[in-house]
Amino acid sequence: MSPERTRLDVSALPKVVFGHRSLLWWGTLGFAVIEGFTLLLMVASYFYLRTNELAWPPGRTPNPDLLVPTINTVLLLLVIVPMRAADRAAKRFDRRGVARGLLVATALTVGVAVLRWFELLALNVRWDAHGYASVAWGVVVLHATLVAVDVFETATLGVLFASGKARKKHFPDASDAADYQYFLSAVWVPLYFIVYWGPRLL
């Protein structure tokens, strides 16, 4: 007979937790780090290629337009508002609030994705013109890929909550989606300044 085993009873621990207590939050953070660092390296490449040219944009390439990119940047920052609402609703387990926030955010993000095409046109140069064009397109398209993934994620979660199929354990997912959205919006701001204002200043 072995001596009595000491027991640590965990049956009272919660099963639905938010933020850094949740597993998925850490996963999301990991992927945000990967994506953020990839974008940083793309920006580093942008400045590296800058050093090879006398003028930036090189030759007779015009500066990028500012109107559409500025509107879209504001729009992307605006997505934070409904996402923040969804985040808060999730933390008080308010299904309708989450659904509303996510669906509004989805609509806005779709708008961002559509405007992104005009944002590329606003670069005023095709990707295959020269190194400047390639790397400027590279920065914008790379971020656009993340926006596209984000649209699907937000839309799917939105439908899940709106349809009533969601369960309590999905609330932290909505909260994590919001955190990812903050990252996506915030990281765009420096990219916007570099790509669209940079050629005027560099």
Contacting positions for another protein (CB under 8 A): 1-17, 20-23, 26-27, 30-31, 33-34, 37-38, 41-42, 45, 48-49, 52-53, 58, 93, 95, 98, 127-135, 137-138, 152, 156, 161, 164, 166-171
Nearest Cα residue to 32 out of 178, 155, 130: 178
Nearest Cα residue to 182 out of 25, 27, 76, 103: 76
Residue 55 main-chain phi, psi, to 5 deg: -120, 155
Residue 97 beta carbon to another protein: minimum distance, rounded to whole angstroms = 11
Say which amino acid occupies 54: L
Whole-angstrom Cα distance, residue 40 to residue 149? Answer: 19
Of residues 104 and 133, the one with the C-beta less far from another protein: 133
In this structure, is the dihedral angle defined by the CA atoms of residues 32, 124, 199 and 135, taken in order, positive or negative?
Answer: positive
Of residues 80 and 99, the one with the C-beta less far from another protein: 99
Tokens 């939105």 correspond to what residue? 158
Contact 135, 46 (CB under 8 A): yes
Of residues 171 and 180, the one with the C-beta less far from another protein: 171
Residue 26 beta carbon to another protein: minimum distance, rounded to whole angstroms = 4
Residue 163 beta carbon to another protein: minimum distance, rounded to whole angstroms = 10
Of residues 80 and 120, the one with the C-beta less far from another protein: 120
Residue 94 beta carbon to another protein: minimum distance, rounded to whole angstroms = 9
Question: What's the longest Cα–Cα distance across the chain?
Answer: 88
Of residues 80 and 177, the one with the C-beta less far from another protein: 177
Residue 67 beta carbon to another protein: minimum distance, rounded to whole angstroms = 26
Q: Which of helix, strand or coil describes residue 63? A: coil
Tokens 């207590």 correspond to what residue? 21
Residue 46 beta carbon to another protein: minimum distance, rounded to whole angstroms = 10
Whole-angstrom Cα distance, residue 163 to residue 102? Answer: 13
Of residues 67 and 164, the one with the C-beta less far from another protein: 164
